[in-house]
Structure 1
Amino acid sequence: MSAWVYVAGIVACGVGAAARYALGLARREGSFPWPTVAANVVGSAVLGAAAGAVATGAPEWVLVVGGAGLAGGLSTFSSLALDAVTLWGTARRWGAVAYLGATFALGIGAAWLGWLVTS
């Protein structure tokens, strides 16, 4: 694989991280972490789409740039974990459970839909 593919993956990761940061600015202190849910769901869809495209003949760089780069920069397991712990620790246990369940269900669904669209 060309060095330019890795450079493009790094740039895409930066774009994804900047988008995640911008989404995070929309969140108010103490509110439900919808921006993190959105980032993870969109990241799952992008990764599913990239993987589906490569599985049906697209060049492998699509997975490096779109999957590892853009989706990897956009989605965030560490924020998911911190948000869940924060919700739980501030006695919003049902919020933590709903957050984890919604993120899991919507993320799997988005990855599946992304795969279907491109494969």
Structure 2
Amino acid sequence: MTVLLVVLGAAVGAPLRYLVDRLVQARHDSVFPWGTMTVNVIGSAVLGFLAAAAVSGPVMTLLGTGFCGALTTYSTFGYETVRLARTGATTYALLNALGSVAAGLGAAWCGMAVALALTP
């Protein structure tokens, strides 16, 4: 049952990642990976919310592991950062690395803050 929940969450998260990434990136005429940063920040906020809301068991498996795991992408973040550095866009590479980590942590904190504010 656990594997099925992960698969179901990922079945929604992965296509959503692709669609959001393409939608965001199409709106920016830049080599900076805005789409990847966007999905990673959204996923961090959602996971922060779920963690602070003390969601556990099957719901956390479905949404935290499956959905957020497929929505976010550390491998693409790493690849795009290295690609930027190798093609001479060193400033963009540094901004991507530092900005993504800072934005992800900030989003997780915000998600947690929202969940705690909604908890009686």
**TM-score by structure 2 length?**
0.84
Q: 1:73, 1:8 → 2: CA distance?
A: 12
Which residue of structure 2 aligns with residue 79 of structure 1?
A: 76
Equivalent residue, structure 1, for 2:47: 47
Map of 1:108-119 to 2, 5 A cutoff? 108-119=105-116
The answer on 1:88 being equivalent to 2:92 is no
Is structure 2 residue 67 aligned with structure 1 residue 67? no
1:98 to 68, 89, 95: 95
Letter matched to residue 103 of structure 1: S
The number of residue pairs the alignment matches comes to 113
Alignment deviations for residues 38-90 of structure 1 (CA, whole Å, 9 cap, x no partner): 01000111111111111xxx442232111111110100010000100010001
* Residue type of the alignment partner of 2:113: L
Check the 8 A contact 2:52/2:112 in 1, yes or no.
yes
Consecutive unaligned residues of structure 1, counting only runs of 5 or more, are: none
Runs (4+) off by over 3 Å = none
1:15–1:84 CA distance, 2 compared to 1 (3 A): same
Amino acid at match of 1:7: L
Of 29-38 and 70-79, the range deviating more from structure 2: 29-38
Q: Matched residues in 2 for 1:18 and 1:80: separation?
A: 17
Q: Is the contact between residue 6 and residue 65 of structure 1 (CA under 8 Å) also seen in structure 2?
A: no
Provide the alpha-carbon RMSD of the alignment.
1.8
- Distance apart, 1:7 and its partner CA: 2.3
Equivalent-residue separation in structure 2 for 1:16 and 1:44 (angstroms): 13
Q: CA deviation digits over 1:3-34, x for unaligned, max 9?
A: 2x542332111211101111232335962100
